[in-house]
Amino acid sequence: MQNRIATALGFANIAFVKYWGVRDAALNLALNDSISMNLSDATTVTTVEFGPLAEDTLAIDDQPANAAQTARVSRHLDHLRALAGVSLRARVVSRNSFPMGTGLASSAAGFAALTVAGAAALGLDLAERELSAVARLGSGSACRSVPGGFTRWHAGRDHASSYAETIAPPDYWDLRDVLAVVSTEHKAVGSAEGHTLAQTSPFLGARLADLPRRLARVQDALLARDLPMLGEELEAEAIALHVLAMTSRPSILYWEPATLEIMRLCPVWRAAGLLAYFTLDAGPNVHLICEAATVPGLLERLQALPSVQRVIVNGPAGPTHLLP
């Protein structure tokens, strides 16, 4: 083996159809397919260097990571070590474009970058779909950050069949994700717990029954570049995700007053000619999806709201890739 070091850049993603609920929590096998867009300005750069070390080490944003974070990364590297047939330990150095612990840094970008860098450092020649499946083991949504542009995660039946692929390249549609940050608190209930709790919501069955229709509409809207069609499904999907969370036992309520304020303003702004639609992840911050020309008008309105702490604008991004 020559160089045992590699660096990769991963992008976070925003889901248009969400992953919420696991069939197999050990393998992160989702209950349903999901569709997302990679985000140009939410990135993680990770260097993995294998060597004669006693244990794996992890630094995030120039600070030594805590034991739980290091153990999660170490477990992830175990999958790659098993594929390469080696037991070498690694030094992992990761930097986010946003500070960790603010609710903004994403494990999707992190695990996509870790997978691509780790595989390259071990000299593994994996196809994109294999890299995507491995990334999924670290964080479900990370599988969608491995391929570029607009991607679809096929829920699949087992490890090998549960991966994401591109349905349209990043330059297919000049969409923007205007992220209104209303809270940077660490979320009280993480996604992993939320996926398990989803099974306790009486509405899970209704959501899953409707998803084939929604997935088809969202994919068709993307391919037709039809924003009103996409937007209608986006908003209904975001509400469906949060209804599942709120009706789980125990209930998870991610919204802040400012979340609802922006959700309510969205149709008002549309009536005034700003074509933007909201979506939400498992947290209170609001993502507004629009075309590039709508961004200046939205920024003006968002920045006038006292509850908005900062606004981050993302365009569609390419695949997670190695850096020289």
The residues of the shown chain that bind ligand DP6, judged by CB under 6 A, are: 15, 18-20, 34, 106-108, 139-141, 190-192, 195, 281-282
- Find the shortest distance in angstroms from Cβ 102 to ligand DP6: 14
- Find the shortest distance in angstroms from Cβ 312 to ligand DP6: 16
Facing residues of 314 across strands?
177
Q: Which is closer to ligand DP6, CB of 19 or CB of 277? A: 19
- Find the shortest distance in angstroms from Cβ 208 to ligand DP6: 14
3-state secondary structure at position 109: helix
Q: Which is closer to ligand DP6, CB of 26 or CB of 304? A: 26
d(CA 185, CA 254): 11
Residue whose structure tokens are 């990679």: 38
Q: Which is closer to ligand DP6, CB of 108 or CB of 211? A: 108
Q: Which is closer to ligand DP6, CB of 4 or CB of 72? A: 72
How many residues make up the chain in this entry? Answer: 324
Q: Which is closer to ligand DP6, CB of 122 or CB of 286? A: 286
Ranges of H-type helices in 67-124: 67-84, 107-121
Contact status, residue 11 vs residue 42, Cβ threshold 8 Å: yes
> Which amino acid, residue 220?
D
- Taking phi first (over 0 means left), then psi (-120 to 50 degrees means alpha), and beta for anything else, what does residue 94 get? beta
- Find the shortest distance in angstroms from Cβ 15 to ligand DP6: 3
Q: Which is closer to ligand DP6, CB of 122 or CB of 135? A: 135
Contact status, residue 267 vs residue 224, Cβ threshold 8 Å: no
- Find the shortest distance in angstroms from Cβ 217 to ligand DP6: 17
Pairing of strands 89-96, 57-60: parallel
Closest CA relative to residue 100, chosen from 66, 138, 148, 144: 66
- Find the shortest distance in angstroms from Cβ 280 to ligand DP6: 8
